[in-house]
Amino acid sequence: MIEELLQQEEGKTLEFKENSKSLDRIIHTIIAFANTAGGKVLIGVKDKTKKIVGLQDPVEEEMRLANAIADSIEPLFNPDIHVVSWRNKEFLLIQVPHSVGPYYAKSKGLKKGTYIRLGSTNRLADTAIIAELQRLGENECFDEMPSTGCSIQDLDLEAIKTCFKKVGKKFIESTAFSLHLYLKKQSKSAPSKGAILLFGKNRKEIFPNATIRCVRFSGTTKDEVLDHQDIDDYLPLALDKITSFVQRNTKLGAEIGPSIRKNIAEYPPVVVKEAVTNALIHTDYSAAGSQIQVAIFDDRIEITNPGALPFGLNMEDALQGVSQLRNRVIGRCFRELELIELWGSGLKRMISQCQKSGIAIPRFEELGHFFRVTLFNHREAVLVVRGWRKDLIDLIVKRKEVATKDAASFWKISDRAARVRLKKMVEEGLISEISTHAFDPQKKFVLK
Residue 147 structural domain: 142-206
Residue type, 167: V
Asked whether residue 154 falls in the same domain as residue 40, the answer is no
**Domain-located, residue 367:** yes
- As a dihedral over the C-alpha atoms of residue 27, residue 140, residue 303, residue 121, rounded to 10 degrees, the angle is 0
For the chain, the maximum distance between any two Cα atoms, rounded to a whole number of angstroms, is: 84
Q: Is residue 425 part of a domain?
A: yes
Residue 382 lies in a domain: no
**In a shared domain, residues 349 and 367:** yes
Is 119 found in the same domain as 246?
no
Please, are residues 157 and 328 in contact by the beta-carbon 8 Å criterion? no
Same-domain pairing of 367 and 418: no
335-to-198, 330, 342, 350, 358 alpha-carbon distances in Å: 13, 9, 8, 18, 29
On whether both 212 and 328 belong to a single domain, the answer is yes
Residue 381 falls inside a structural domain: no
117, β-bridge pairs: 122
Number of structural domains (the chain) is 4
- Please tell me whether residues 362 and 215 are part of one structural domain: yes
127 CB-near residues (< 8 Å, 6+ apart): 111
Residues 416 and 418: their CA atoms lie apart, in Å, by: 5
DSSP letter at 118 equals E
Residues 290 and 400 in one domain: no
Distance CA 365, CA 202 (A): 33
Domain finish residue from 84, 119, 137? 137
Based on the domain organization, do 430 and 284 belong to the same domain? no
CATH number of the domain where residue 396 is located:
1.10.10.10
In a domain, 412, yes or no: yes
Residue at 246 is within a domain = yes
Direct distance between the N- and C-terminal alpha carbons of the chain, in angstroms, rounded to an integer: 15
In a domain, 83, yes or no: yes
Claim to verify: residue 369 and residue 394 sit in the same structural domain:
no
Chosen domain end from 102, 137, 172: 137
Task: Give residue 49's Cα distance to chain centre.
Answer: 26
Q: What is the pLDDT along the chain (448 residues), one digit of tens a residue?
A: 777 888 788 999 999 999 888 899 999 999 999 999 999 999 999 877 778 888 999 999 999 999 999 999 999 998 999 999 988 889 999 999 999 989 999 999 999 999 999 999 999 999 989 999 999 888 889 999 999 889 999 999 999 999 999 999 999 999 999 999 999 877 788 999 999 999 999 988 899 888 999 999 999 999 999 999 999 999 999 999 999 999 999 987 544 455 554 557 789 899 999 999 999 999 999 887 789 999 999 999 999 999 999 898 888 888 888 888 889 999 999 999 999 877 767 888 899 888 888 888 899 999 989 999 999 987 655 556 788 999 999 999 888 889 999 999 999 999 999 999 999 998 888 888 887 667 777 888 988 7
Strands 212-217 and 225-231: antiparallel
Q: What's the pLDDT at 183?
A: 93
Q: Are residues 249 and 309 part of one domain? A: yes
Say which residues have a Cβ less than 8 Å from residue 100's Cβ, sequence separation at least 6: 136, 137
Q: Are 114 and 150 in a shared domain?
A: no
Domain boundary among 322, 346, 376: 376
Asked if residue 160 lies in contact with residue 167, where contact means CB atoms within 8 angstroms, the answer is no
List residues bridging with 43 in a β-sheet.
17, 92
Instruction: Let me know whether 219 and 311 are in one domain.
Output: yes
Where residue 247 sits, what CATH number does that domain have?
Answer: 3.30.565.60
Whether 159 maps to a domain, the answer reads yes
